[in-house]
Structure 1
Amino acid sequence: MRDVFDITIIGAGPAGLYSAFYSGLRGLKTKILDAQQVLGGKLNVYMEKMVWDVGGQPPLPAAQLIEQLVKQAKTFHPTIHLSTKVTRIERLEDETFCLHTDSGEKHYSKTIVMALGSGILKPQKLAIEGADRYEVSNLHYVVKSLRQFEGRHVVISGGGNAAIDWANELAPLAASVTVVYRKEAFTGAHEAQIEQLLNSGVKCLFNTTICKLIADAEGQAIDRVEVKDELTGDKSELTVDEVIINHGYEIDADLLQNSSFDFELDEYSRVIGSDASETSVPGIFAAGDILIHSSKVNLIAGCFHDAANAVNRAKLYIEPTAEKVAMVSSHNEIFKEKNKELLYS
């Protein structure tokens, strides 16, 4: 007999985790499916990054935010499957959805919330032959610990939020930080972060790319990088201890692009939906970075709003006579016993 859930959430980043909490709050039988081995989504890339823009929270490291989001998501005991990549969705004759996975498993659900983020965490690699052999030494695509770069000469290639965040965080720790960026100015990050970087003493090389990695005497690590000025063609070398690459992430959009459903997508393979987190497919909703709409707020705080809307719409899809939104926590009976536990424990 099929085990049919009320709502299945694809993705376990902030949007997916908050969707799970809010879904439980609305009394829905909930499942989370995520292709990664851990919960938290892309926050796992920036474990030591300070997150400032979540309402009611003082600045806190991403690792701590993950911990708190996970704890909240598990409030109503959702079923969680990690290392589970959804490859295809079909609608069955009884109007439920069947989610097919890369392992051959099938999951059944009345509704779906897509919280896919901006893609599965697969960083775009440096397109230089032989670069992969340095990944075990000093070529990095993720910064898991800032302290490993303390007192080191660091070159960062990239100009998006992550690259600029890392440069700002490393500026007071590293012996030197140089940012190499292929465009003439930073355009892919928040203004305050860019301003901080430009006033931090970090050297920024615009219209510049890394064109060659030069090994040390043992051939085990990168000793120098050759960079090219894309306007003049001039090349020069930078002596380095560590190289960090942030050229974005490969977006696994196959689930959307190859779907039999008529999802409306933008040029970045994001789902074009409504302000209420509806997609063009009835019964399938979206939240977080995968969703674009006219009132979109591209902050973690914004994904919580998307998530609540998605779950509320899913609730109404299943139960058209249900309340449009959940009762606020201060008046919600579902929290009465939990409040006693917290107050008197």
Structure 2
Amino acid sequence: MTENLELYDVTFIGGGPAGLYGAFYSGMREMKTKIIDAQNELGGTMLFFLDKMVWDVGAIPALTGRELTDQLVRQARTFDPAIALSQEIVGLERLDDGTFILTSTAGDRHWTKTVIMAIGYGGLRKVRKLEIEGAVRYESSNLYYTVENLEDFRGKRVVISGGGDSAVDWANELEPFAASVTVVNRTDKFKGLERSVSRMKASAAVRTHYQIEMLHSEDGQAIDKVTICHVETGQREQLDTDALIVSHGATYEYGKLRDWGLGIGKDILAVTDKMESQIPGISAAGDFVSYGSKVKLITGAFNDVVLAVNSAKQYIDPHAAKMARISTENARFDELNKQFVNN
């Protein structure tokens, strides 16, 4: 059954920040490593936020999501892991020797001793769209569900609908570019770092307890006004706009992953303090996991995946060290250090 298949020590399902840093750290632990991702490029959820500024990664000054992704990919390649893209994994089989066969929707098979799930909030991400009749017609003009280029909004009157992290972050990022930014939210609660919320309230027009009710267009091609309605009083107002950004979050589907017996809850997987799932040999890390002291930051994902790799290493070899030696004392960096010195 495993003829012509190459056996790996650890396979990461997911090539976002957790999977990428995990591939680097597993290299430090001298593990033969593979990364599999359903998308056609590495980066995971970061690919949706390439132009957003990231401030909260230790020892790294502010940089864009694109820059952070590029650096994570470069770091992940340090020890030459195998990389398989456009591979949505749906099948899991445990062999008699304890190893696993992972199968993709295309029928490709991957053989591994351990698995680390780093799939974020799920393999399939579906953006929650604006539930107003006829809204879809404006998706090709000025109704947006993400922001790919800040310059597209220069000098425009921007209305943002939503109160999550992305809505707050986009309001702050667009402020230097847009003529005006108005944030419309059903409640007065905003997710995100306190500093980010305070900055948004100081620079944008914030309308709480309102929701978008109607879209208006003189030419039928682009939105030029929106009607907002107060959710408690029913009071209505019209806002002029050149661009409407809807940030209502997303739904995530796990599909056949739920049949694996991992114990996936509604949106996430409960793990032990060593990032272990209910299936021996399968660990998890990043936004996919939940435990008592979980930190929902990229730096938290890095810590998660270090623990997951350590669990995988000791699953393969119970006598292995509990963690990798630090880079300044790790022989795996000897040749790489010489290259830096010679350059």
What is the TM-score normalised by the length of structure 1? 0.94
- 1:151 CA displacement: 0.6
Alignment of 1:84-99 (within 5 A): 84-99=87-102
| 2:327 is aligned with 1:329 | yes
Are the equivalent residues in 1 in contact too, given 2:90–2:257 (CA < 8 A)?
A: no
What is the match of residue 280 of structure 2? 282
Q: Equivalent of 2:133, from 105, 118, 129?
A: 129
Where does structure 1 differ by over 4 angstroms across 4 or more consecutive aligned residues?
Answer: none
Aligned in 2, Cα 1:83/1:130: closer, same or farther, shift over 3 Å? farther
**Aligned match of 1:264:** 263
Match of 1:214 in 2: 216
Q: Match of 1:193?
A: 196
Counterpart Cα distance in 1 of 2:59 and 2:66: 17
8 Å CA contact 1:275–1:295 kept in 2: the answer is no
Choose the corresponding residue for 1:11, options 10, 14, 17. 14
1:266 CA drift (Å): 4.0
Superposed CA deviations along residues 32-87 of structure 1, whole A, max 9, x for unmatched, are 11111221112122212221111111111111111100000011111111221112
Q: Is residue 42–residue 121 contact of structure 1 (8 Å, CA) maintained in 2? A: no
Residues 1:62 and 2:65 aligned together: yes
Structure 2 CA distance, aligned partners of 1:128 and 1:35? 31
**Cα root mean square deviation, aligned:** 1.5
Contact 2:28 2:330 in 1 (8 A): no
Query: What are structure 1's unaligned runs of at least 5 residues?
Result: none
Q: Deviations over 1:125-166 (max 9, x none)?
A: 212233222222111111111111111000111111111000
Aligned partners of 2:309, 2:147: CA distance in 1, in Å? Answer: 33
Contact 1:113 1:284 in 2 (8 A): yes
Instruction: Choose the corresponding residue for 2:104, options 81, 93, 101.
Output: 101
> Are the aligned partners of 1:274 and 1:294 in contact in 2 as well (CA < 8 Å)?
no
On the 8 A contact 1:11/1:34 being kept in 2, the answer is yes
List gaps (5 residues or longer) in structure 2.
none
- CA distance in 1 between partners of 2:207 and 2:65 (Å): 28
Given that 1:275 and 1:296 are in contact with CA atoms closer than 8 Å, whether structure 2 keeps it comes out as no
Identity %: 46
Shift of 1:207: 1.8
Q: Does 332-341 or 94-103 show the bigger shift?
A: 94-103
**Per-residue deviation at 1:92?**
2.4
Aligned to 1:165: 169
Q: Distance in 1 between matches of 2:341 and 2:134?
A: 58
Q: 2:313 aligns with which of 312, 315, 336?
A: 315
Aligned-pair CA distance for 1:255: 4.1
What displacement does 1:306 show?
0.6
Letter aligned with residue 121 of structure 2: S
TM-score, normalization by structure 2: 0.95
SS at match of 1:32: strand
The AA in structure 1 aligned to 2:15 is A
Secondary structure of residue in 2 paired with 1:343:
helix
| Higher mean displacement: 121-130 or 302-311 | 121-130
